[in-house]
Amino acid sequence: MTQERHRLPLSRVHHVALITADYDRARRFYLEVMDAEIIEETWRAERESHKLDLRLPGGIQLELFSFPSPPPRPSYPEACGLRHLALATPDLEACIDLLRARGAQPEPIRVDELTGARFTFLADPDGTPIELYEEPTPERRP
18 and 63 both lie in a single domain: yes
Does 7 map to a domain?
Answer: no
Regarding whether 60 and 87 lie in a shared domain, the answer is: no
**pLDDT-derived band of residue 140, with 50, 70 and 90 as boundaries?**
low
Q: Which residue from 33, 47, 39, 55 is spatially nearest to 103, judged by alpha carbons?
A: 33
Give the CATH number, domain containing residue 56: 3.10.180.10
- CB-based contact 86:133 (threshold 8 Å): yes
The residue segments making up the domain with residue 131 are: 82-142
Number of domains in the chain: 2
Backbone φ and ψ for 37, nearest 5 degrees, come out as -115, 145
Residue 118 pLDDT level (bands cut at 50, 70, 90): very high
The answer to whether residues 64 and 21 belong to one domain is yes
What is the pLDDT confidence band of residue 71, given thresholds at 50, 70 and 90?
confident
In this structure, are 22 and 62 located in the same domain? yes
Is residue 7's pLDDT more than 70? Answer: yes
Q: How confident is the model at residue 12 (pLDDT cuts 50, 70, 90)?
A: confident
Please state the pTM of the whole predicted model: 0.82
Q: Is residue 94, in this structure, part of any structural domain at all?
A: yes
